[in-house]
Structure 1
C-alpha cells in the first residue's frame, strides 16, 4: 500500500528472492574422470594382502618329439619354476575426513553433508588409485614394462606405424591402448594426415578411437611432462598397450576382500569417533596393487610428442 499521491512501487526482485526456494545441485567435482583402467582391469582378491607371482624359469625348457621312431625313446621333461618368485603387497591409499557435527546437524537438507563429503573423498581416493596403478614406483605399469617391450616413436608424434609395432609386442589378444587424451588427439591427427582416420567404437556409452580394432582408452594419469592436465601446448608422454586378465596371462589388479566397512571392493569407510571439539572423523582407506603376469602382457611407446593442431597446418 502506498499513500495517496505518492509514486507507485512494487516488491523488488532481491527482496522477493529471500522467500524463494532455490533448486540446488550436489557438489560438482571437476577432478573426477571415467577411470577406464580401473574399470577394464580384471581384479583378483588376495589373502593377507599379498600375491606371489609364480613363473616358469624358461619358456623353452620342455622337449617334445613328434611321432618318434620305434627305436628312439621319448625324452623326459619337466617344467622348472622360479625359486624366488616376486611377491606383490597391497598398497594403502587413505584419507581422514573430518566434519563438524554442528554442520552435519544443521545443514543436511536437502543434501546430507556427511554423505556428500564422503562421496567426494572416496572419489579423490579412487582417482589416486588409478594414478598409482600407472605411476607407482613399485607396482605401477609404467615401471613394470620389460626393456624388451619398450619402443621409441619414429618421429615424435604417435603414428600408425608406432601402434602397429606396439601390437607386434602384445600380439596375443591385446585388450586396449592406454594414453593421455592429448596423445590420442595427436594420433588422430597423424591418421587423418595420412588419409586413414581411425574408426570408433562405443564402450560403456562413450565413443573411443580404435586402431586395428583395439580401443584407445584415455586417462590423464599417463602424464604429459609430469602433469595430468598441462596448461601449455606440446610435451611428451607414453602410450601403453595391455592384455588384461589372469586367464590370458595378462595384467591384473589386486585388492583385499572383506574389509570392515567395505563400500566397494578394496575400499572401506570407518567411523573413528568424535573429539572434544565435536568433530567427527572418518577413515577412508583403499588397498590395491597390480601385477604383470608375463612380460608380453604389456608394452610401452615412449617419447610420444603430443604437439598441437597448429603443428599440422
Structure 2
C-alpha cells in the first residue's frame, strides 16, 4: 500500500502579517536640510512689513581733534544721515494645502494626516525661504553683495589664499563662510594637498570645517554652474552692522517667527484648505558685511545643478 507524504501544516508569514500591527514612521522627505544659514542669521522683527536702514553719509567729514594742551578751540561737528534711506520690504511665500476630510477622518491613526501634511508643507516653504535669502535678485546675499566686495577666482579650486582674501574684504568680526557642500569638499581637498588640513568645530551638534577659526557652513541652495560655485563670508547682527534676517511678528495663526497657518474652510466637495504663509527678507546693513568669492572650480567633470530653482 502506497502512503502519500503530507506536507506539514503551519501558519504562513503573509497570513500572520494580516493580524499583526505594523510600526509606521511619519513621512520622510529627503529634500529637508538643516538650513544652517537661517539658524545663524540674527533675526529682527519688523512692523508693517518694512525695515528702514539709516546710513551715515560722508563719515570722513566728522572732525575729531586731540587735546594739544593749549587754548585751541575745539572743532564743532555733526554726523549727517542719508535723506532717502533704503527700505527693505518683506516678501511672502504662500501655498494652499488641500486635504479631503475623508482622509483626515478615516486615516489619522497613528499619524494625524493634517498635522503631517502641514509639517511637510512648512518644511518645503522654509527650504524655499533659505533659497531666497541666498539667491533672490532683490535682496539675496549673492545679488546684494557690493561690487568692491567681490573677488573673481583664478581658474582652479578654492584655496586658502582665496578665503584669506575674503577675510581681508570682510574683516570686522566675520561670522562664517557659506558655500555649497561640494565647495567645502573641494576646499578641504585643496588644503590637504597643501599640507594644511583645516580643523573642525562643533556647532548645533554637528562638525564643520573651519578656516582661520571661521566655520564653513554648507547650503545646497548656493548655485553650482559648470562645476563652479561661490563662497560667501558673512558678518551677522544689528550690533555688528552685519546681515540681518527680517520677519513679521504677531501674525494671526503664527506657528513660528514670520510663519502662519490659517484654516480657510471646507468647500462643497469636502476639501479642507489651509493657507500657509511665510514673510521674511534680508538686509545687509553695511557694504563690508559680506564678501563674495565668485566661480570657484569644484568639479572639472560634472555640472551639479542647485536644488534651488527660484
TM score, norm. by length of structure 1: 0.93
Structure 2: runs of 5+ lacking an equivalent: 303-310
Query: Could you tell me whether the CA contact under 8 Å between 1:68 and 1:74 is conserved in 2?
Result: no
1:309 and 1:211 map into 2 onto residues whose CA distance is 26
Structure 1: runs of 5+ lacking an equivalent: 226-233
Q: Secondary structure at the match of 2:132?
A: helix
Q: Secondary structure at the match of 1:121?
A: helix
Query: Could you tell me whether the CA contact under 8 Å between 1:104 and 1:113 is conserved in 2?
Result: yes
Give the 5 Å matches for 1:204-283.
204-225=204-225, 235-283=227-275
Partner residue of 1:229? none
Q: Which moved more, 1:71-80 or 1:187-196?
A: 71-80
2:242 and 2:133 map into 1 onto residues whose CA distance is 15
Structure 1 position 63, deviation (Å): 1.1
Per-residue CA deviation, residues 90-138 of structure 1 (Å, 9 max, x unaligned), is 0001110000000000000000000000000000000000000011111
Q: Secondary structure at the match of 1:185?
A: helix
Structure 1 position 5, deviation (Å): 7.3
2:240 and 2:47 map into 1 onto residues whose CA distance is 22
Partner residue of 1:195? 195
2:231 and 2:129 map into 1 onto residues whose CA distance is 19
1:300 aligns with 2:292: yes
RMSD: 1.6
Q: Which moved more, 1:55-64 or 1:27-36?
A: 55-64
Give the 5 Å matches for 1:10-25.
10-25=10-25
- Report the number of matched residues: 299
Per-residue CA deviation, residues 247-290 of structure 1 (Å, 9 max, x unaligned), is 00000000000000000000000000001100000011000000
Q: Secondary structure at the match of 1:44?
A: strand
Structure 1 position 72, deviation (Å): 3.0
TM score, norm. by length of structure 2: 0.93
